[in-house]
Chain A
């Protein structure tokens, strides 16, 4: 019998609001749909939101806090997604946990998850303080998500430096909120600019897409609803590349130029 190896993947950015939690939710669903047993772990104990994006906020009974305290079993705290039973959420506990939580606690949690899951996605808090250090201690590999903006790229660079010192490998990059038109006009850092500066392999390119906001309003990640929006496709492709599939990356210069893109824009044009 070969021992199965669970991949503990940290999703981090340094800067807040660039799309860590959205990526975690969508990637979790996309992986689960591919038959990968996936756990998403909300490591943002201060400002938890992963439950909300997954639409699971009303089903939380126990959290990581009770699991660590030994007052409930792991299975009781895990919230299984109804439509995607391959996906389970381990909710973050009370913000007061931050006072005593140690890297060893995070390691204990992922060790408990390991027998039942193939992939554990750890949704990292913003910043590079204790919350980050706790989360990073439980991971072996990482996805850094950033946007083509100077502040986000600078913070991502800082985080990459820290991930390197923690021996995290591989570290891959997802570039979020790409606006192809601005890039074409050279009013936004290009994909090459960002990958050159951060020197990371690109795992995914996600264009700015209003459907992301619509989906978070509903608590249904885009990858769950089978949406054909550009962001939904981008997230599914990230999941496929993460599983080792060779999916070519789109060229931002050609995005939104095809006949189909034009038709889809036309059909979405507001008429009232």
Chain B
């Protein structure tokens, strides 16, 4: 490490390269392992947003849907900040039944009866995130495929190669 690097690091101008390496690796491995191409991921992202936004108002600028990997298990992690619940969230009105049910769970868990007291009156948007494994947020689980599904896709992709 040069003196310049040290100074930059101390001033917070430059991150440690090991951190960058780890993050880049985790991202590339998540894709390698799942074998999902970016177009498919983008399509899935659009459809998830479409379903969820039928029930709650989402902050589209802050939406983040990505693949994360831990202990050789890849998970789809969706971070969808909710502005407010839509009043007409009825499980009856849905185009795709199976997707609709999950979205209904999501709306139920997060929008009307929020787990955090006083959250409804806060001006900033709440966040339905899969990265914080709090009880009372089943919405996150609904968006994560189970490890079994992932392993299956991984194995099938390797058999193809």
Q: Which residue numbers of A lie inside 8 Å of B, CB to CB?
A: 128, 149-150, 153-154, 157-158, 160-162, 165, 183, 185-190, 193, 196-199
Contact = CB atoms under 8 A, between A and B. Distances in A.
A199 B25 CA distance: 14
Nearest to B1: A185
Contacts of A161: 33, 154, 158
B96 interface: no
A183 B32 CA distance: 26
B17 A187 contact: yes
A197 B28 CA distance: 11
Interface string B64-103: 0000011110000000000000000000000000000000
Contact of A154 (B1, B28, B159): B28
B13 interface: no
A161 B71 CA distance: 13
A188 B18 contact: yes
A184 to B, nearest CB: 10
A193 B26 CA distance: 10
Contacts of B18: 183, 186-190, 193
Instruction: Please report whether the interface of chain A is mostly helix, strand, loop or mixed according to DSSP.
Output: helix
B122 interface: no
B21 A150 contact: yes
B159 A165 contact: yes
Given A161-B158, A165-B159, A185-B1, A197 B17 contact: no
Nearest to A157: B29
B158 A165 contact: yes
Contacts of B158: 161-162, 165
A161 B159 CA distance: 10
8 shortest A-B CB distances, which residue pairs? A186-B16, A199-B72, A186-B18, A199-B71, A193-B22, A185-B1, A165-B158, A150-B21
A15 to B, nearest CB: 13
B35 to A, nearest CB: 10
Interface residues of B, number: 23
Nearest to A200: B72
B155 interface: yes
A158 B154 CA distance: 11
A188 B16 CA distance: 9
B148 interface: no
Given A161-B154, A165-B158, A190-B18, 9 more contacts: A149-B21, A153-B25, A154-B32, A160-B72, A162-B158, A186-B18, A188-B18, A197-B25, A197-B29
B33 A157 contact: yes
Interface centre among B16, B21, B154, B158 (most CB of A within 10 A): B21
Nearest to B25: A150
Interface string B144-161: 000000000011001101
Given A150-B21, A154-B32, A187 B72 contact: no
B19 interface: yes
Given A185-B1, A187-B1, A199-B71, A157 B32 contact: yes
Contacts of A160: 72
A261 B22 CA distance: 30
Contacts of B154: 161
A267 to B, nearest CB: 26
A248 B69 CA distance: 28
B159 A158 contact: no
Given A185-B1, A186-B19, A187-B1, A154 B25 contact: yes
B24 interface: yes
A187 B22 CA distance: 11
B24 to A, nearest CB: 6
Contacts of B22: 189, 193, 197
5 contacts: A161-B33, A161-B158, A186-B17, A186-B19, A188-B21
